[in-house]
Amino acid sequence: MWATPERWWRRVWAGRDSVSRVDYYTRGTLYVIQASELLVLTLYLDGPRTWATSVGIALTLLHTGLCLTTLHTTITASVRETGIPRRLLGAATAFTVALGLLALLVPALLPPVAPGPSGRPEVDPAVPTIGALAVLLIAAASPVIRSSLVGLLGGLAGTLVGLVGIGRGLDSSDTVKLGTTTALMAITLGLGYQLSIWILRVIGDLAEAQQTRAALAVAEERLRFSRDLHDVLGSQLSAIAVKSELVAELARRGLPSVVDQAGEVRQLAHGALREVREVVSGYRRADLATELAGSASLLRAAGVECEPTSDGVPLDRAAQEALAWVVREAATNVLRHSEATRCDVVLRADARRAVLTVTNDGARAAESTDGNGLAGLRERLAARGGSLRVRSLPPDSFTLVAEVPLGGER
């Protein structure tokens, strides 16, 4: 049963993603241009059809099909970077040359050109035929050849058409026009095809980058889950195991304290369950002390001297979580955007506010501008009534200052 146009549209076009649609549209446009060979030829040809002209049209159809096959193969080879299809290009070139020679040697294969005002044909049909054959061959091969070679081949094609026109006795002005038109069409089509293929490659690279980014995000989330699960369950289960052994020993001895110890085991199990749920849901809070220690260790491992200092004033949970994110982002920026050898992390607090200062001695130009990370930190701190400032001092010092208000639950 034949599919309705609506079903065909949904299956072939509407059901595709944006990358596939661009690919289909670009390829389809190039195929339509390449298939216009008959139209290009018949612009100059008119008159009665004979068996010889029918053979000529059949050969032109074969050439069109061969050029379409060549174009499809070269586009795929260029996009996928699989190499030049030399045999197919050789076959297409040989067939094109053979058709050009037939057009010169067997004029009967071409329909006669309509006579001009003088009563004679204005142009020999073999001349535009050779030009059209050369233009479409160059266009079909252009996806896998250099732009300079497209220009060279276009110039050679125009020169060839001009020489053929002179040899067939055409007027010099007509010869120049045909040769110039052939060269311009070959170069324009070839470079236009190359631009289209370049766009396809760029879009393909972007789509691949998006897929890679999505895969990395999944891998990062898996690593986070694995790390958090290990951190949570490792200590909790160890404590439960020790407490359980103690409960078993107290039970064997019949001591009444076994009830209290069993209660502690239950509390540990409930605590482990709660933290596992937080890990699964992704809502586990960032801990300032952990981030300070982890970032310092990471920087030292990368060859950056780092010893965080603090005045020991207790901070509320909201301030700790906000500053923990600042520490994480600052350490990441030092590793990615600087050539630091030392990074100073200083935490100071009083009754009203906490101030975190991170300074490194190897700032590059890119670090001095706000990126998405710093913008996100500003939003996060602003939501808690805090602020974020950055400053650069010559020669290479870069300082980040985060401030948050205190007064919440500690």
The neighbouring-strand residues paired with 388 are: 402
Percentage of residues of the chain with pLDDT beyond 70: 79
Extended strands (E) in 289-396: 305-306, 309-310, 342-349, 353-360, 387-393
Chain-centre distance for alpha carbon 180: 39
Percentage of residues of the chain with pLDDT beyond 90: 23
What is the per-residue pLDDT across 138-168, written as a single tens digit (0 to 9) for each? 999 999 999 999 999 999 999 998 898 888 7
Residue pair 100/130 in contact by the 8 Å Cβ criterion: yes
What is the per-residue pLDDT across 349-376, written as a single tens digit (0 to 9) for each? 988 899 999 999 887 655 455 555 677 7
For 301, the token pair is 């491992």
Q: Which of 132 and 11 is assigned the larger pLDDT?
A: 132
Residue pair 359/344 in contact by the 8 Å Cβ criterion: yes
How far apart CA 247 and CA 241 sit, in angstroms, is 10
Instruction: Centre a 10 Å sphere on the Cβ of residue 182 and count the other Cβ atoms it contains.
Output: 28
How far apart CA 259 and CA 250 sit, in angstroms, is 9
For 273, the token pair is 């369950």
**Over the chain, what is the mean pLDDT?**
80
* pTM of the model as a whole: 0.53
What is the per-residue pLDDT across 302-352, written as a single tens digit (0 to 9) for each? 678 888 998 888 888 888 888 988 888 888 788 777 788 899 999 999 888
SS3 state of residue 388: strand
How far apart CA 290 and CA 225 sit, in angstroms, is 17
Per-residue confidence (pLDDT) for residue 1, from 0 to 100: 46
The Cβ-side half-sphere exposure at 1, using a 13 Å CA radius, reads 2
Extended strands (E) in 11-127: none
Q: Which of 235 and 271 is assigned the larger pLDDT?
A: 271
